Amino acid sequence: MTPARAPETVRAKPDAVCVAAVEPARDAAIAEAGAARVGEHLGQLVEGERLVTHYFASTHPGYQGWRWAVTVTRASRAKTVTVNEVVMLPGDTAIVAPEWVPWSERVQPGDLRPGDLFPTHADDPRLEPGFTDTADAPEDVRAVVDELGLGRERVLSPFGREDAADRWYAGDFGPASPIAQAVPYKCHSCGYWIRLADSLGQAFGVCANEMAPGEARVVAYDYGCGAHSDATIENPDLPIPEHAFDTTGYDTLQLTEQPALPTEA
């Protein structure tokens, strides 16, 4: 059974015959779900002219907080009502499924596992057609195309570059991160910082220090950490303590001659 959404309340004069038709509405709900799954009458709602919905509690263990909605109506000058529809609707305390979200919006960074595929849309604004027609180009031209990465079917668009730059700059390895704020050293002056080759290299590079938190990650040029190549410590000459015992001199000792030991016969 597909749950239906309750209609919005309208201003209409309550019809006395429809309002009083509690038992016909209950019988309709019982015919739909069975007497064991229809509970007490919870009230009614005037939907329109000679149109009233009666609500009954659902006693089904799997639908706690739901209610049966039976809409009745009558023709003008008619003395009896007609059942219009019988549906189950969620109440204020009902457990309902979350709003459906397309899979492309449900997948988050880090969700992909080995063997998973995440196809891109043909109209992805982050991409634009690349230069791929190199079949008849000279070998030296194809070598340059491959070196510059122009042989791909699609490449980053200006929007894609700006989107990535904004995300990286505002992320954990941007200048606003707590670790970057705690040190005076910046990545652009670090010997471990490898600048990106394309236009993004004006603001980003890759950290090559295995002791740094940003190692093997894209870090902003004004990010910084305590593992900067200039963060050296000069060890001062430590004072040599005096020997507890003098091991460099010697004392003259007078040895006395020991008596010879008797020999056995």
Query: Above 90 in pLDDT, residue 237?
Result: no
Judged against a pLDDT cut of 80, whether residue 118 lies above it is answered with yes
Cα-based distances in Å from 253 to 200, 244, 250, 256: 82, 21, 9, 10
pLDDT of residue 159: 94
Cα–Cα dist 98/209, whole Å: 45
Please answer whether residues 73 and 100 qualify as being in contact, where contact means their C-beta atoms are separated by less than 8 angstroms. Answer: no
Give pLDDT, residue 132.
Answer: 64
Nearest alpha-carbon partner for 72 in 20, 9, 119, 120:
20
pLDDT of 150: 67
Sheet with 218-220: strands ordered across: 193-195, 204-207, 218-220
Q: CA 11 → CA 6, 46, 74, distances in Å?
A: 15, 8, 18
Distance separating alpha carbons of residues 83 and 90, to the nearest angstrom: 20
HSE-CB for 77 with a 13 A CA cutoff: 0
Least confident interval from 15-24, 124-133, 201-210: 124-133
Spatial neighbors of 74 by CB under 8 A, at least 6 apart, are 15, 17, 18, 50, 80, 81, 82
Query: How would residue 140 be classed by pLDDT, with cut points 50, 70 and 90?
Result: confident
Q: Among 40-44, 50-54, 88-92, 100-104, which is the least confidently predicted range?
A: 100-104
Residue 161: pLDDT over 60:
yes
- Of 261 and 182, the structure prediction assigns the larger pLDDT to 182
The pTM of the full predicted model, rounded to 2 decimals, is: 0.53
**Which of 59-73, 120-134, 248-262 has the highest average model confidence (pLDDT)?**
59-73
3, pLDDT greater than 70? no
What number of CA atoms fall less than 13 Å from residue 54's CA on the CB side?
A: 27
Residue at 37: amino acid letter: R
How high does pLDDT run on average in the chain?
86
What confidence score (pLDDT) does residue 260 get?
Answer: 72
